[in-house]
Amino acid sequence: MAEIIQTGGVWAFDQDALRLTPGRDGNASVLRRTLGELVVPLGALAGISFERGRRRGRLRLRLRDGADPLLHATGGRLAEPHDPYRLTVESERHGVAEYFTDEVREALLLARVPSTPVREYLLPGPPLPLSVSAGDGTASFDGARVRLEWNWKTEAAKAAAGPRTLALADILGVEWRPSAGLERGCLRFRVAGAPAGERATYDPNAVELWGFRRDPLTALLAAAVQARLPHPSAAAMAPETAREPETAREPETAREPETAREPETARRPETAPDPETAPEPKASQRRERARRPETVRRPETVREPKTSQGPETARRPEAAPEPEAVREPEAAPEPEAAGADHDVLLRRLRRLGELRREGVLTDEEFATAKQAVLRRM
């Protein structure tokens, strides 16, 4: 088990999952404290990196596309203090951060976890029910419906319609955008029939964000709704399945009359043989069979062109040991040997880990031996 403790939180790795616990003091953002401990399974990871700095470094996790509803809902727009997959590391703990990174990478290598996108969420959304007051309104979600209520800062034309309730089945998607500079952010729910491109100030399906302290909490509500909507991979596959009826109509257009008349031409062999005249040529056929030995001898005359090519061309078969050069693929078992060496190195890494857990190897001996094996890989 590997662990690193910092003021911003604690990261622990037990070979199967990463546990990300936020700090308890003011160093952790309001979003991290509200989200609480986050368990990331090993299969959801695409990689890990450590960025060393002069005073502080940074641990960063990279998840597979489509594994976390929070990352999908925010689109990577979370600032560093609110991002649960970043951890600031003090300079005196850089060595521990590098060791932690090596442990996670080794586990990903041994488990052969792919970095390709996933077709279902591997992390759950934030716990429910959830209610957030930010910007010009309050958004609540209980798992079945979203309710939007407005405050005194709401535009009059928008507040005149009163509170808004959206059933989960009517929501097509969620858009979350933080405020940046003079540009305001929003938490918008896309509903069928709603006008596109309308400003959040006048959109009854959106909460406008002005950059206040509690604005990042709306990202949690967006993630909670996104976790209960169809996975993005299912939405991407929908257009492909929608085209199947078009291809199913091709047999209907393939009813060409020309192909339908082909059986008529196929019947011609039935009239062509003329079975009444068929027994008559039997005598002539016998005569032709008697003459066939003469035609069988024709291959002897076929050999004449070979002799006409001259002795120089006749020697070409002797100088054509080219099939021997084709034997070069015999030297192609290198990938098998490379795969075998790779498996041997992986087993050696597992054995080193067992020796360290049994106390046979110290941490320094284990790190030295592991680096030697990784360099060979």
Domain boundaries, the chain: 2-111, 130-233
Q: Is the pLDDT of residue 253 over 60?
A: no
Q: What is the DSSP string of 226-260?
A: HTTSPPHHHHHHHHHHHTHHHHHTHHHHT--HHHH
Residue 174: burial class (beta carbons within 10 Å; 0-12, 13-18, 19+)? buried
* pLDDT value for 218: 96
Residue-by-residue DSSP string for 274-327 = -TTTTTTTHHHHHHHHHHHHHHHTHHHHHTHHHHHTHHHHHTTTTT--HHHHTT
CA angle 328, 330, 334 (to 5 degrees): 110
What's the rounded mean pLDDT across residues 265-269?
44
> 155 burial class (0-12, 13-18, 19+ CB within 10 angstroms)?
middle
pLDDT of residue 233: 86
**Percent of the residues in the chain that have a pLDDT greater than 90, as a whole number:** 51
Q: Helix 94-111 and helix 334-358: axis angle, to 10°? A: 130
Per-residue pLDDT at 373 exceeds 90: no
Q: pLDDT by residue (tens digit) across 164-187? A: 999 999 999 999 999 988 889 999
Q: For 204-230, what is the mean pLDDT?
A: 94
Tell if the pTM clears 0.95, that is, is over it.
Answer: no
Convert the pLDDT of each residue in 43-94 to its tens digit: 999 999 999 988 899 999 999 999 999 999 999 899 988 999 999 999 999 9
CATH of span 2-111: 2.30.29
- Exposed, middle or buried, 71 (CB in 10 Å: 0-12/13-18/19+)? buried
H-run or E-run covering 114: none
| Residue 204 burial (10 A CB sphere; 0-12, 13-18, 19+) | buried
Least confidently predicted of 17-31, 131-145, 175-189: 17-31
Residue 238 confidence (pLDDT):
53
Average pLDDT, the chain: 78
More confidently predicted of 326 and 25? 25
Least confident of 229-233, 237-241, 301-305, 337-341: 301-305
Q: Where is 334: in which H helix or E strand?
A: helix 334-358
Domain 130-233 has CATH 2.30.29: yes
Which position has the higher pLDDT, 11 or 297?
11
Q: What's the pLDDT at 364?
A: 81
Q: What is the pLDDT of residue 55?
A: 87
